[in-house]
């Protein structure tokens, strides 16, 4: 791989993947980061790389649904590999406004696939990043495996399921070289503060209410984002073409357990809000969201067996690293929460 186009590289997982590739691996080629720079895309998270890796890291502001812009980027930079992260990804937002999810996640993926298909003499790999939410909800036992039938329950997961099927179809029908991954819930540095863990860390730090849906007993498997980046790179280098690999953290926890863990670590680092008053007292139960899947759990035996990948972080170690990062990066948090980073985007890249 000489030139990798990373779509959605200014989003949470994309940022961490790019940072991992450039600072921790022996990859010596170029990364072309294509991002629409919506509210969740923050190029400031990678601004230091523009100087440190001048010529090897390039940011292109473009919409993956824009066929002309994407064709131009693919050809101008002679891209030979695509790592497709770009997606609208927040379930709550998809319930209120599904339009953006259908457009970006389905039409955008289709646009990229068509362009890659037209350049199969050059494209070595199209890697598609997806979610375990496409499988729907599990009962109290069992795990999602790669062969689990799809049963998405939200507009977000339905749009991701559709994109998964398109990628698979382009491999089977046209022979496009693809790999796919379905991951469990990610957490770690640079996450936009609307998702459960990042929101709870900042609210608990500030003494604000910690809203927990329903009874708080919905179960998720938690994956530290750097572990996910390592897994994706392993799949891109050693995965079998046309195959899907489930990536999980083997950290199955209820949402309430996650919030308790965050409160306890913050109490340990910052001290209790008052003597004998844990941040757990900030927990507030709110009405459950529609279509809230009860349990996700991933069996990642395939990637462990075939590629030798295993998550390095336990939830205990990963959550402490995450909390410490947010506490140490207050300026980044403040700029994201206030929207100041949007001014930086407008100054450097226009709107």
Looking at the annotation, which residues are catalytic?
132-133, 156
Decide if 41 contacts 344 (C-beta within 8 A).
no
Q: Which two tokens stand for residue 272?
A: 């209790």
- As a residue count, the chain comes to 351
Q: Which two tokens stand for residue 84?
A: 């497709």
Q: Which two tokens stand for residue 186?
A: 């990610």
Sign of CA dihedral 265, 332, 19, 100: positive
Quote the CA–CA distance of 342 and 351 in Å, as a whole number: 9
**Residue tagged 């000489």 (tokens):** 2
DSSP string, 105-157: IIIIHHHHHHHHHTTTTT--EEEEEEEGGGG----SS--B-TTPPP---SHHH
Q: Determine if residue 328 is left, alpha or beta; phi over 0 gives left, psi from -120 to 50 gives alpha, anything else beta.
A: alpha
Quote the CA–CA distance of 143 and 76 in Å, as a whole number: 43
Quote the CA–CA distance of 26 and 263 in Å, as a whole number: 38
Q: Which two tokens stand for residue 103?
A: 């457009």
Q: Which two tokens stand for residue 206?
A: 């500030």
Strand ordering across the sheet containing 219-224: 185-187, 219-224, 252-254
Quote the CA–CA distance of 49 and 165 in Å, as a whole number: 34
Decide if 2 contacts 82 (C-beta within 8 A).
no
């Amino acid at each position: 791989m000489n030139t990798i186009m990373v779509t959605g590289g200014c989003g949470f997982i994309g940022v961490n993947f790019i940072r991992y590739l450039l600072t921790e691996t022996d990859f010596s080629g170029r990364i072309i980061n294509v991002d629409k720079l919506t509210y969740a895309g923050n190029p400031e998270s990678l601004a230091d790389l523009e100087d440190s890796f001048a010529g090897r890291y390039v940011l292109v502001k473009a919409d993956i649904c824009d066929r002309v812009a994407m064709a131009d980027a693919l050809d101008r930079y002679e891209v030979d590999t695509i790592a497709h992260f770009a997606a609208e990804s927040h379930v709550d937002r998809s319930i209120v406004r599904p339009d953006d999810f259908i457009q970006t996640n389905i039409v955008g993926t289709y646009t990229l696939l068509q362009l890659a298909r037209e350049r199969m003499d050059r494209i070595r790999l199209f890697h598609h990043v997806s979610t375990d939410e496409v499988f729907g909800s599990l009962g109290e036992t069992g795990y999602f495996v790669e062969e689990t039938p799809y049963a998405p329950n939200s507009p977000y997961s339905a749009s991701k399921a559709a994109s998964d099927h398109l990628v698979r179809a382009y491999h089977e029908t046209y022979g496009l070289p693809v790999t796919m991954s379905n991951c469990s819930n990610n957490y770690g540095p640079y996450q936009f503060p609307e998702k459960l863990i990042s929101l709870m860390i900042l609210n608990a730090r500030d003494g604000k209410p910690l809203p927990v849906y329903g009874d708080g007993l919905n179960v998720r498997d938690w994956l530290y984002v750097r572990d996910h980046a390592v897994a994706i790179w392993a799949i891109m280098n050693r995965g079998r073409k046309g195959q899907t690999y489930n990536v999980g953290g083997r950290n199955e926890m209820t949402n309430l357990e996650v919030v308790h863990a965050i409160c306890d670590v913050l109490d340990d680092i910052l001290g209790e809000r008052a003597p004998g008053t844990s941040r757990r007292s900030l927990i507030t139960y709110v009405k459950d969201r529609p279509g809230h899947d009860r349990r996700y759990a991933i069996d990642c035996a395939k990637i462990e067996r075939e590629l030798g990948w295993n998550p390095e972080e336990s939830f205990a170690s990963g959550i402490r690293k995450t909390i410490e990062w947010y506490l140490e990066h207050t300026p980044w948090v403040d700029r994201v929460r206030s929207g100041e980073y949007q001014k930086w985007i407008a100054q450097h890249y226009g709107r």
